[in-house]
């Protein structure tokens, strides 16, 4: 069973350092004495950054450090869960379709085309508009409906290359069942390629969750990066720091998740070894 090596320790060092640094900042901010993300101090509304409030305050005097830290932590947890579910569902499905060939392979390919052709954001708007009080569970379920497709497409394309390799033919020749061929021989060889999509999928969830909250379809607890962006747009001239903090938080969170995905990229690992 040929299994390509994932990125080595040195190749993973920089992306993982970025992720751990962002995670440490988020957790320390969430556990700091800055206060709860829903705590309001009206006398500090739109206050500029200060020693007591390093990122300043937003609407109603909410501390932006506490709000951004809690919102980023919840967005990361949601994104990681959705990406892992998409990976667990899509990778075996794509591999099984390529092994089965015929109608099943064409059906999975067409299903991926259909799912990826319809914007996830519009699907979320349609579904969440029918929910009286959306929560992150509802958001996660909507994202999972489409998260599997990119993983399945990558697994399908890569398995088409692997299914005629000598080690797969040898497994078939000794009577290994198709299911065992997929689980024991193909899926392990797909991990180095398909796992790269984990970072991209998680980053897309962070951006989508913020966008939904920005337009008023996010979780009703109000702890979201989209809420910070909404406050920043409404007070762009009076308190420009709020919009900057929200945009920077979305950027840093999504880019850190993308960097985590690069740790699994075999091409990235080879490039670092060659340099």
Q: Are 195 and 131 in contact (CB under 8 A)?
A: no
Q: How confident is the model at residue 206 (pLDDT cuts 50, 70, 90)?
A: very high
Task: Quote the CA–CA distance of 133 and 144 in Å, as a whole number.
Answer: 19
Give 228-257 pLDDT, tens digit per residue. 999 999 888 888 999 999 999 999 899 888
| Residue, of 193 and 3, whose pLDDT is higher | 193
Tell me what percent of the chain is helix, strand and coil, each rounded to the nearest 5.
75, 0, 25
Say if residue 268's pLDDT is above 50: no
| Residue, of 220 and 185, whose pLDDT is higher | 220
Q: Are 231 and 58 in contact (CB under 8 A)?
A: yes
* This model's pTM is above 0.85: no
| Residue, of 54 and 205, whose pLDDT is higher | 205
DSSP conformation letters of 61-125: G-BHHHHHHHHHHHHHHHHHHHHHHHHHHHHHHHHHHHHH-HHHHHHHHHHHHHHHHS-HHHHHH
Q: How many CA atoms lie within 13 A of 217 on its CB side?
A: 19
Across 25-29, 130-134, 174-178, 267-271, the highest mean pLDDT is recorded for 130-134
pLDDT given at position 263 = 67
Q: In the predicted model, what is the mean pLDDT of residues 187-196?
A: 77
Say if residue 81's pLDDT is above 50: yes
Please name each of the domains of the chain with its CATH number.
11-25+57-274 (1.10.3720.10)
| Residue, of 165 and 198, whose pLDDT is higher | 198
Give 9-25 pLDDT, tens digit per residue. 555 555 555 555 666 56
Q: In the predicted model, what is the mean pLDDT of residues 104-129?
A: 90
User: Which two tokens mark 132?
Assistant: 């009286």
124 Cβ neighbours under 8 A, 6+ residues apart:
139, 142, 143, 208, 212, 217
Q: In the predicted model, what is the mean pLDDT of residues 63-86?
A: 90
| Residue, of 78 and 269, whose pLDDT is higher | 78
Phi, psi at residue 57, to the nearest 5°?
Answer: -125, 155
pLDDT given at position 265 = 60
Crossing angle of helices 225-234 and 196-214, in 10° steps, is: 40
């Amino acid at each position: 069973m040929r299994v390509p090596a994932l990125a080595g320790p040195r190749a993973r060092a920089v992306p993982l350092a970025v992720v751990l640094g962002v995670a440490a900042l988020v957790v320390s901010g969430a556990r700091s004495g800055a206060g709860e993300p829903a705590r309001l101090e009206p006398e500090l509304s739109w206050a500029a950054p200060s020693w007591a409030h390093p990122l300043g305050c937003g609407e109603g005097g909410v501390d932006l450090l506490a709000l951004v830290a809690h919102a980023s932590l919840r967005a990361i947890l949601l994104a990681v869960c959705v990406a892992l579910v998409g990976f667990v569902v899509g990778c075996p499905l794509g591999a099984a379709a390529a092994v089965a060939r015929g109608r099943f392979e064409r059906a999975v390919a067409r299903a991926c085309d259909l799912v990826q052709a319809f914007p996830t954001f519009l699907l979320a708007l349609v579904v969440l508009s029918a929910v009286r009080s959306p929560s992150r569970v509802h958001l996660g379920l909507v994202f999972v409906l489409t998260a599997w497709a990119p993983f399945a497409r990558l697994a399908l394309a890569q398995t088409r290359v692997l299914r005629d390799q000598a080690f797969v033919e040898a497994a078939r020749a000794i009577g290994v069942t198709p299911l065992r061929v997929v689980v024991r021989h193909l899926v392990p060889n797909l991990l180095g390629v398909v796992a790269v999509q984990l970072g991209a999928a998680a980053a897309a969830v962070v951006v989508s969750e913020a966008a939904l909250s920005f337009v008023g379809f996010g979780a009703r607890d109000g702890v979201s990066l989209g809420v910070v962006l909404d406050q920043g747009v409404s007070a762009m001239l009076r308190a420009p720091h709020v919009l900057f903090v929200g945009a920077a938080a979305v950027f840093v969170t999504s880019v850190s998740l993308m960097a985590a995905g690069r740790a699994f990229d075999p091409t990235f690992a080879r490039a670092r070894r060659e340099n």
